[in-house]
Structure formats: structure tokens, C-alpha cells
Structure 1
Amino acid sequence: MARILALDFGTKRTGIAVTDELQIIASGLTTVPTAELMSFLERYFSEENVELILLGEPKQMDNTASESEVNIAEFLKKFSEKFPEKKVERVDERFTSKMAFQSMIDSGLKKKQRKNKALVDEISATIILQSYLYK
């Protein structure tokens, strides 16, 4: 089997999580500056077998697209041109940042550590991936 990779796309940073090859365990991988995301993915795909990319879909409470959807659509267009063989699925990402922050509190991270927005993004990507795996 191949891995599943999840992206919590942001205009500044993108959190990335990945499964093991058996698609059982979701783990945070890293957070990369969004400007470097395509080159990071290119390197990662050359080293690892990834069959599916999950991309967070930010929605408002009324189920309409959020403002950031414009940036995500632009990324998706470039991604599909560069990696036409990669399958992409969208996953509702409402509340993932709040859930990530709460998990940081629950795991005992100190206040200074919880201010690390890159870590929040990575945990959010992991939550997106877990929600897909365990649905």
C-alpha cells in the first residue's frame, strides 16, 4: 500500500501529516512555508509512495466556502498540473485549529510551546488525516 498525505493549507504555512504505508497511523510530518510547498512535495513524492492527498476544505458555519478557498483553488490548479497522477480529496477542516490547540493543552504543552503556529498547523493536518481514516 501507499501513504496518504494530508495538507492544512495556509497562505503563510502549510501543515503536513502522513500515514504509515498500511494507512493505519496518522502522524504529523512537518510544517513548510507555503511558498516552498510544491518543491517539498516534489522531493517527498520522489522518496515516498503516496496514493492520495487530502486537502483541508475550510468552510463557514453556514457551509459556504471561506475566504481562503481562493488561494486553495489556485494551489490545486498548480498541483494538478505538476502532479496529474495524484488523486486529491477535500476534507472539511472546520474546527481543526481549535482541536489542535486543545490537544496541545491536553498533552501538557506549556503556554510558550502552544504559541508555535507551525505546530498547530501540523497537528491540524494530523486531525484532517485522522478524520478521513476513522470515518
Structure 2
Amino acid sequence: MARILAIDYGGKRCGIAITDESKIIASGLTTVDTSDLLNWLSDYVAKEEVELFIVGEPKRLHGEASESEKLIQPFLEKLAKRLPDIPVKRMDERFTSKMAFDTMIASGISKKKRKNKALVDQISATIILQDYLYNL
């Protein structure tokens, strides 16, 4: 069975989360340098069956697109050319970084580990994917 893969896209690195095969549980998978993301995704889908990409949609408080969207659009165009058989859906990612940080505190992660931005990105991708699964 195919999985759903979520991406918290960033200028330097991207958090990646994946569902289980039953599409019930979202788990953080890894963090990938943005410059390597397309190659990483191509390699991943060659090994694992992915039916859908969920890409975070950064918005401002009042719903308009944030500046980050200008970076995401060219990536989405390249992704559609590279992996045209896998559809992409967008998911509002407002407050996911804050939620990720709060989750790290609540789970007892040390102050030193909470400074790891890669971990925040991975948890953010997991929250984006959980939100998508919840809204199915």
C-alpha cells in the first residue's frame, strides 16, 4: 500500500514526514537540505510507494501567502516535472513551527536539542501531515 509524504519546505532544509501504509499514523522521517530535495524524493519514491505529496502552504495570519511561497512555487513546478505521477496537495502550515517547539518542550527534549532546527522542521512536517489526515 502507498504512503503519503509531507514536506515542510524551507530555504535551507526541508522536514519530511511519512504515513504508515494504512495512512493512519504520521511520523517524522528526516530532514533534507533543500538543494538535495528533488533528488532525495526521486530516490525515496523509487524504493517506497508514495501516492501523494503534502506540501506546507505558508500563510500570514489573515490568510494571504507569505514570502516563503515565492520559494515553494518553483519547487512545485520542478516536482511536477520530475515526479508527474504523484499528485501534490497543499496544507496550511501556520503555527506549525510554534507547535513543533511546544511539542518538543512537552516531550521533555532538552534545551540543547530544542535548538536543532532540523528537528523542528521534521516535527513541523509531521504536524502538517497529521492535520491533513485529520481533515480527510
Length-normalised TM-score, structure 1:
0.99
1:125 matched to 2:121: no
**Partner AA of 1:6 in structure 2:** A
- Give 1:100 deviation, angstroms: 0.1
Structure-1 residue corresponding to 2:134: 134
Shift of the alpha carbon at 1:62? 1.2
Q: CA offset at residue 134 of structure 1?
A: 1.2
CA distance in 2, matches of 1:19, 1:116: 23
Which segments of structure 1 move beyond 4 Å, counting only runs of 4 or more?
none
How many equivalent residue pairs? Answer: 135
Counterpart in the other structure of 2:63: 63
Question: C-alpha distance in 1, partners of 2:68/2:130?
Answer: 22
* 1:29-108 alignment, distance < 5 Å: 29-108=29-108
Q: Within 2, Cα distance between the matches of 1:117 and 1:85?
A: 31
Q: By how many angstroms is 1:124 displaced?
A: 0.1
Residue 21 of structure 1: SS of its match in structure 2?
coil
Deviation at 1:9, TM superposition (A): 0.1
TM-score, structure 2 normalization: 0.98
Task: Please tell me the residue identity of whatever aligns with 2:19.
Answer: T
Q: Aligned with 1:32: secondary structure? A: strand
- The answer to whether 1:114 aligns with 2:130 is no
Letter in 2 for 1:66: S
Runs of 5+ unmatched residues, structure 1: none
What is the SS of the residue equivalent to 2:35? helix
Looking at structure 2, the residues matched to 134 and 59 of structure 1 have their Cα atoms a distance apart, in angstroms, of 20
